[in-house]
Amino acid sequence: MPLTTQSLKLTAQSPKPKMNKKELLKLIIKKQSFLCVGLDTDITLIPQHLLKYPDPVFEFNKAIIDATIDLAVAYKPNLAFYESMGLSGWASLEKTMKYLNQFKGQVFTIADAKRGDIGNTSKMYAKAFFEHLDFDSVTVAPYMGEDSVKPFLEYKDKWVILLGLTSNKGSNDFQFLETGNGKLYEQVITKAQQWGTPDQLMFVVGATHPEAFKHIRRLAPDYFYLVPGVGAQGGDVQQICQNGLSSECGLLINSARNIIYASKGEDFAQAAQESARKTVGEMANYLSLFSKG
């Protein structure tokens, strides 16, 4: 049964107990969208009139969330933008997550942290993001192997989003190296499926590698991909959808700068909404490919 267009009005609700793949797909169907909004909030780029507030970063994030919450399935704060500001940045992140967590079950939250360390350190990272901040997921670097990833996977109804094939130019330095058994990124994606199921593990696959999506979909047919690199980095929604969609959608397409910095004036939230709506509109042609299962 194909999707039908539905209007959506969000109100704060009690937290839902889980956000597994089935629940995530329901959310995509309900919102008619698989858009992730990246909250890469740089205090030097936000509208100047917000600087009068005690916490301008949070005021900016809250306005962006309010303007796009009917359109976005997920939000992805990039931790570097908050950590670089010290204690005040961490406080802004905490307030942003407290605000987002009012809508638990209605949005999927991603800590773009790219952590990856020995097991006991990863355990503390997992505690910070999954317990203290209550993110639904966290991005993790796979370089140190299974024991550095497992502590994140031990949390019920939480997700690891493992770096697979990234969107940056430097991805060519290592990720495409031949191992004798395929390219390095192929080995990462294949091996990691032994660690986590499609209900708890996703892969980062950069939009700047559209030619690789069909191949990666064959390697990991049942997994979701978080797709950065759309917009400012040159990735194309149409190409990604044509090559990367699965029968259960299987994509969260992230856009940050094109949405949150669509305007630097007092109309920034409205401009963000219009930019998000345009991106969701590009996805509309592909929504009928999924079913309610």
Looking at the annotation, which residues are catalytic? 114
Please tell me the distance from the alpha carbon of residue 35 to that of residue 110, in angstroms, as a whole number: 13
Please tell me the distance from the alpha carbon of residue 43 to that of residue 129, in angstroms, as a whole number: 23
**Residue with tokens 């999506």, as numbered in its chain:** 213
Please tell me the distance from the alpha carbon of residue 129 to that of residue 125, in angstroms, as a whole number: 6
**Residue with tokens 């005690």, as numbered in its chain:** 54
CB of 69 closer than 8 Å to CB of 273: no
Phi/psi-derived region of residue 170, left when phi > 0, alpha when psi is between -120 and 50, beta in every other case? alpha
DSSP assignment of 28-45 equals HHHHT--EEEEE---TTT
- Taking alpha carbons only, the member of 95, 215, 110, 85 closest to residue 160 is 110
CB of 110 closer than 8 Å to CB of 37: no
DSSP assignment of 138-174 equals EEE--TT-HHHHHHHHTSTT-EEEEEEE-SSTTHHHH
**Residue with tokens 């079913």, as numbered in its chain:** 291
Determine phi and psi for 58, rounding to 5 degrees: -65, -40
- Taking alpha carbons only, the member of 274, 272, 212 closest to residue 244 is 212
